[in-house]
Amino acid sequence: MGTTAGGDGPHMRLVLVESNTTGTGRVFVDRARRFGLEPVLLCADPDRYSYADEVTVVEVDTTDPTVVTEACRAVGDVVGVTTSSEYFVEIAASVAAALGLPGAAVGALRDCRDKGRQRLRLRDAGVPVPGFTLARTDVELADAIAATDVPMVVKPLAGSGSMNVRLCVSADEALRHGRHVLGVDRNERGMPTPTGVLVEQYVDGREFSVEVVDRHVVGVTRTWLGPPPYFVETGHDHPAGLARDEEQLLAGTSVAALDALGLRGIVAHVELRLPGPVVIEVNPRPAGGMIPELVRLAAGVDLIAAHIALAAGLPVDVTPTLRESASVRFTVPEVRHGDFRDRTGHVISHGRHAQGAVEP
């Protein structure tokens, strides 16, 4: 275990177990300091993070909850353990539980992050999801594809940023991609991933997300996607500009999904499609794609600050203070990976009128 100091700071500390390498990683550090907390980054490789020299860094094996727990005890005065990375939410919650600190139930997070278990729990609770079949072997994959109409979506059981998610318009294409997914046993961080494929009936329609803070719906965001067969998010608008009844329908379905999964005390990002609504995915962490910044600009609600407050057991206020609109559009000059890594830049605009924000 190695430590580098980022300077003197407050005695109450917020531990970040790794971080996302783009987007809001640095924002988490800023918001922690606004609460009077000293951010401490626990990570395996500080070189991943452009802001590592601005904070206290402890180098540890962050895939081992026992090691992370002992590192937190060594840091001392820790009031919260969290992460901005999809891949480490379970570990952060496990460590928080071991230290008696706030956090979501580890089992609920595990079920949520495994897309197969998530689908099963939502379906069993009556939450609308696409038709799906789980496949863990080549034979099961072939059977799942044969039982699903084209077009279909073939995706891994774990991951984020639309990595290895494909829209397939033929059984042969689905089989090829499914076999590729079955052969992937580690994510881009080198962490083991569950072996399996989710074969889903494609749900056509408009895509939205609902941003939720501990069962309180902050707002609904419209999502724009690039051309198939990929699901690269090319832009977002907040608010979504929906009629009130549609907005309430999306909000109610999202809270029902979180209840079905047993998720409490977190900031969540629920993706859905209309007509329906149909839940595409529940993410037990703040949205990516600059959505937290859009919500801050449009509604005056800071999702990252809310996330940190929940982790540290501090009061959370998500009362909107603005009624504006904000949009982001990403530059995607060419498809290289078919996921979030193809986005090379972005432009954000905001104002009082939706049309002005949508056209940066």
Does one domain contain both 6 and 80?
A: yes
Q: 288 CB contacts (<8 Å, ≥6 apart)? A: 20, 23, 24, 160, 161, 269, 340
Helix or strand holding residue 154 (H, E): strand 152-156
Confidence of residue 39 (pLDDT cuts 50, 70, 90): very high
> Which residue intervals of 160-282 are DSSP H helices?
171-182, 244-261
Residue 105 has pLDDT above 90, yes or no: yes
Residue 182 resides in a domain: yes
Residue 341 resides in a domain: yes
Residue-level pLDDT at 293 = 95
State percent of the chain over pLDDT 70.
94
Could you read off the pLDDT of 57-77 as tens digits, one per residue?
999 999 999 999 999 999 999
State the average pLDDT for the chain: 91
Residue written as token pair 């073939």: 154
Residue 308 has pLDDT above 70, yes or no: yes
Could you read off the pLDDT of 154-191 as tens digits, one per residue?
999 987 777 889 999 999 999 999 999 999 887 777 77
**194 CB burial (10 A radius; 0-12, 13-18, 19+):** middle
Task: Give the three-state DSSP class for 11.
Answer: coil
Does one domain contain both 197 and 210?
A: no
Confidence of residue 140 (pLDDT cuts 50, 70, 90): very high
Does one domain contain both 211 and 96?
A: no
Does one domain contain both 210 and 289?
A: yes
> Which residue intervals of 183-265 are DSSP H helices?
244-261
| Packing angle of the helix pair 291-299, 303-312 (nearest 10 deg) | 100
Helix or strand holding residue 115 (H, E): helix 115-124
Does one domain contain both 218 and 349?
A: yes
Residue 335 has pLDDT above 70, yes or no: yes
Residue 233 resides in a domain: yes
Q: How many domains does the chain have?
A: 3
Does one domain contain both 218 and 342?
A: yes
Residue 189 resides in a domain: yes
Could you read off the pLDDT of 196-251 as tens digits, one per residue?
999 999 999 999 999 999 999 999 999 999 899 999 899 999 999 999 999 999 99
Does one domain contain both 228 and 161?
A: no
Does one domain contain both 321 and 353?
A: yes
Does one domain contain both 215 and 338?
A: yes
Q: Which domain holds residue 178?
A: 131-201
Q: Which residues of 252-269 are buried (b: 16+ CB within 10 A; e: fewer)?
A: ebbbbbbebbebebbbbb
**Residue 213 sits in a domain of what CATH number?**
3.30.470.20
Query: Alpha-carbon distance 69 to 97, whole Å?
Result: 10
Residue-level pLDDT at 59 = 97
Which residues are 268's β-sheet partners?
A: 212
Residues 90, 95, 98, 104: is their CA dihedral positive or negative?
negative
